[in-house]
Amino acid sequence: MPNAAPRPTACLALADGTLFFGHGFGATGECVAELVFNTAMTGYQEIMTDPSYAGQVVTFTFPHVGNVGVTPEDDESAETPAAAGLVVKWDPTEPSNWRSTGDLPGWLARHGRIGIGGIDTRRLTRAIRQQGAPHVALAHDPSGNFDIEALVARARAWKGLVGLDLARDVTCGQSYRWDEMRWAWPAGYSRREGPGLRVVAVDYGAKRNILRCLASAGCEVTVLPASATAADVLALNPEGVFLSNGPGDPAATGAYAVPMIRGVLAADLPLFGICLGHQMLALALGARTVKMNHGHHGANHPVKDVETGKVEITSMNHGFTVDSQTLPAGVLETHVSLFDGSNCGIRMADRPVFSVQYHPEASPGPQDSYYLFERFAAAMRARRAA
């Protein structure tokens, strides 16, 4: 007799009752979250540690995930991975990379995150695109015992990201200074020295590489928690204010962030926002945000600068978008997605206040948009000179 197929040790249950069985790795147990897909070919560790993925399980469309192992240098946040779990086509192989300090399954297990391999990720991705990002329950049990009805019920009972403020869960506990700059061969990460442009970065789930890009642009960065008020920000006498990326519903986070942003705008300071920061700046200016069908998650998204005609290939990770039809007078749309025409950037017509939906710091992704950090620095230098 032929050998029987190995018993599945992991199960992904969608709220509509669809089931995917595969091989579990990493931590054991269960989690519930929104399921999204990411099309990046590299950077799985950066993706898993991006705080913007809180409340989500990530399906990787690229089949080979885990083959370069993990290294602390690639963590985008200091705490445990933000993403609840990951879904891959092939089980992770033994790592082969000179920077590797460990393997992906062991890293996931140490941080309490579940992985499932052996999944038809093309089928799963098509389902997400056609039906929207589903609520799912992901379970890993080495014995292969699953209560299917309970898993589906958990997925159906999960309330989802709409109305959910997750920035408070991923923000820093207290303020701190940042001086590490972008990685460069052969020295790796270096430190910015001497006085710089005083920037307050409000942390709604900030990626480390954003802070590195600010430091590399000549900024002396002080990071404040998401709950910071306008008085907290202005007390540091900043020359510019940065609004970071982050997870959850921008309208929910905006309940306390929008008053702070409006207070900063009243002080007439240069302001730059990315991702969630972009969405909350739009809210502060009077626009609205909406939930997307399946969002944008990847490192190959074409974005057009409508003012110059230039097209940038960008890294994206967002499930909400700014409704460009609600932008008030005096606020201009600067960038649009060439995938679906959704808004990807705004600026005030008469002030150095701007933001983008995508991730110019990449990590992972292309480096087409680093110039935005220099634009922010130039605005602060112009204000200082004036």
Burial of 314 (0-12, 13-18, 19+ CB in 10 A): buried
DSSP, collapsed to helix, strand or coil, labels residue 382 as: helix
Q: Which of 11, 213, 275, 344 is catalytic?
A: 275
Sign of CA pseudo-dihedral 247, 167, 136, 84: positive
Name the DSSP letter for residue 189: S
Q: Which of 135, 297, 301, 359 is catalytic?
A: 359
Task: Report yes or no: 346 and 333 within 8 Å, Cβ to Cβ.
Answer: yes
For residue 351, what are its two tokens?
Answer: 């002030």
Look at strands 331-337 and 289-305 and give their pairing.
Answer: antiparallel
Residue 140 annotated to the active site: no
For residue 335, what are its two tokens?
Answer: 């960038």
Q: Which of 30, 76, 312, 361 is catalytic?
A: 361
Residue among 276, 265, 271, 175 nearest 222 (CA):
175
- What number of residues does the chain have? 386
Residue 374 annotated to the active site: no
Radius of gyration (C-alpha) of the chain in whole angstroms: 21
Residue 219 annotated to the active site: no
Look at strands 176-178 and 197-203 and give their pairing.
Answer: unpaired
Catalogue the active-site residues. Answer: 275, 359, 361
